[in-house]
């Protein structure tokens, strides 16, 4: 039942698909003409302009650079104009501004290119769909002709079938005819977008080289904006330095007071240590004196002992002499008695 209902939808054949493909082809042509005129209108000869842009830029005349950029109607110069306006704010600001403009330009440059890409990818399938519908209708007509009576009707049905198949194949051919130019145009215009973005990068590199060179050699007197920024920064730095100095002085005072306390404590400890050392020295001196007195007493005792020993020896000698004298006297007496 469902198949029968769907077969009714094939009564229109592939003709409406052909009209659809023709309409898509007209849309495709319109987009191709519009994009081609658009890119031609905003074209830029990068080789000539790059050399002129470099000369004006490195001459230092920024106003001439701005006027020259404003004369050129291109996406590359539009991005550079915004970047040149930000020169006073440094290289980083210039680079970010140009990158932002590149993103904005890319949206405008790629407008309607997705339609071309979609047509190039899908119109062959639309044509194939028309071919399938045409073949279904052709076979349906053949079935109806075979059910009818008479050979002439059968031959007429076969001729109608052959015409339907030819019509169906035409739909595939038209789909391919629509898709091929769309793919070619899409690739060509996509490359144009990439070339414009690359040209912007090239000119940005020239501008950045000038800014970096100028920042290295520039003094604050030649740049009032930079001078104001530097003075404000220096004032902030001086305030911060003064605050830091005050904090450091307070910290130093605290550290000095702590050091004084430590010194006082150390001095008291040292004085107590010195007193102890002096007491020990005095005790050592007293011990030494007592030792010397003991030595003197010992020496006196020894001298007395020596003197007593000498007296004893003298007494012994005297006694012996007396004994010898007494003996001699006795012997003399004996000799006299014998006589």
pLDDT bucket at 130, cuts 50 / 70 / 90: confident
Q: Burial of 230 by CB count in 10 Å (0-12 exposed, 13-18 middle, 19+ buried)?
A: middle
pLDDT bucket at 25, cuts 50 / 70 / 90: very high
Instruction: Tell me what pLDDT residue 177 has.
Output: 92
Q: Is the pLDDT of residue 333 over 90?
A: no
CA gap 15, 131 in Å, rounded: 10
Instruction: Tell me what pLDDT residue 210 has.
Output: 80
- Give the start-to-end residue ranges of the domains of the chain: 2-218, 221-333
Q: Give, in order, the Cα–Cα distances in Å from 313 to each of 49, 113, 197, 318, 320.
A: 140, 148, 137, 9, 10
pLDDT bucket at 70, cuts 50 / 70 / 90: confident
Q: Is the pLDDT of residue 34 over 90?
A: yes
pLDDT in tens, 206-252: 888 887 776 666 544 555 555 555 565 566 666 666 666 677 777 76
Instruction: Tell me what pLDDT residue 24 has.
Output: 93
Sequence length of the chain is 339
DSSP 3-state of 219: coil
Q: Give, in order, the Cα–Cα distances in Å from 242 to each of 64, 159, 238, 255, 268.
A: 45, 104, 6, 19, 38
Most confident segment among 192-196, 239-243, 301-305, 316-320: 192-196
Instruction: Tell me what pLDDT residue 60 has.
Output: 76
Instruction: Tell me what pLDDT residue 51 has.
Output: 82
pLDDT in tens, 158-175: 666 677 777 778 888 999
Averaged pLDDT, 101-115: 89
pLDDT in tens, 271-294: 666 777 777 777 777 677 666 676
DSSP string, 70-82: HHS-SHHHHHHHH
Averaged pLDDT, 5-17: 68
Instruction: Tell me what pLDDT residue 148 has.
Output: 61
Q: Is the pLDDT of residue 183 over 90?
A: yes
Q: Is the pLDDT of residue 269 over 70?
A: no
CA gap 13, 23 in Å, rounded: 17
Do the Cβ atoms of 57 and 81 come closer than 8 Å? no
Instruction: Tell me what pLDDT residue 156 has.
Output: 60
CA gap 255, 101 in Å, rounded: 58
Q: Is the pLDDT of residue 63 over 70?
A: yes
Q: Give the H/E segment covering residue 244.
A: helix 224-338
pLDDT bucket at 204, cuts 50 / 70 / 90: confident
What percent of the chain has pLDDT above 90?
16
Q: Give, in order, the Cα–Cα distances in Å from 4 to each of 7, 9, 10, 138, 140.
A: 5, 9, 10, 15, 11
């Amino acid at each position: 039942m469902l198949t029968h209902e769907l077969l009714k939808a094939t009564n229109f054949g592939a003709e409406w698909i052909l009209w659809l493909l023709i309409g898509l082809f007209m849309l495709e042509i319109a987009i191709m003409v519009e994009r081609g005129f658009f890119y031609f209108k905003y074209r830029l000869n990068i080789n000539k302009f790059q050399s002129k842009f470099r000369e004006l830029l490195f001459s230092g005349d920024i106003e001439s650079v701005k006027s020259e950029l404003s004369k050129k109607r291109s996406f590359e110069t539009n991005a550079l104009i915004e970047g040149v306006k930000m020169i006073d704010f440094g290289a980083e600001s210039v680079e970010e501004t140009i990158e932002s403009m590149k993103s904005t330009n890319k949206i405008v440059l790629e407008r309607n290119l997705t339609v071309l890409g979609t047509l190039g990818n899908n119109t062959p399938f639309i044509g194939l769909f028309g071919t399938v519908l045409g073949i279904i209708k052709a076979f349906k007509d053949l079935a109806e002709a075979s059910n009818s009576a008479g050979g002439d009707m059968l031959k007429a049905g076969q001729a109608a079938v052959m015409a339907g198949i030819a019509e169906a194949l035409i739909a595939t051919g038209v789909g391919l005819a629509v898709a091929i130019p769309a793919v070619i145009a899409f690739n060509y215009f996509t490359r144009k977008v990439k070339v414009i973005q690359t040209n912007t990068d090239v000119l940005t590199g020239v501008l950045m080289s000038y800014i970096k060179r100028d920042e290295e050699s520039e003094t604050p007197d030649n740049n009032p904006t930079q001078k104001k920024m530097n003075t404000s920064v220096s004032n902030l730095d001086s305030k911060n330095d003064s605050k830091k100095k005050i904090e450091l002085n307070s910290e130093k005072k605290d550290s000095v007071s702590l050091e004084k306390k430590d010194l006082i404590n150390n001095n008291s400890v040292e004085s107590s240590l010195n007193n102890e050392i002096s007491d020990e020295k005095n005790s050592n001196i007293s011990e030494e004196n007592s030792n010397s007195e003991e030595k003197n007493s010992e020496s006196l005792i020894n001298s007395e002992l020596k003197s007593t020993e000498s007296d004893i020896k003298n007494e012994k000698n005297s006694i012996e002499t007396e004994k010898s004298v007494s003996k001699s006297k006795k012997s003399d007496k004996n000799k006299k008695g014998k006589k």
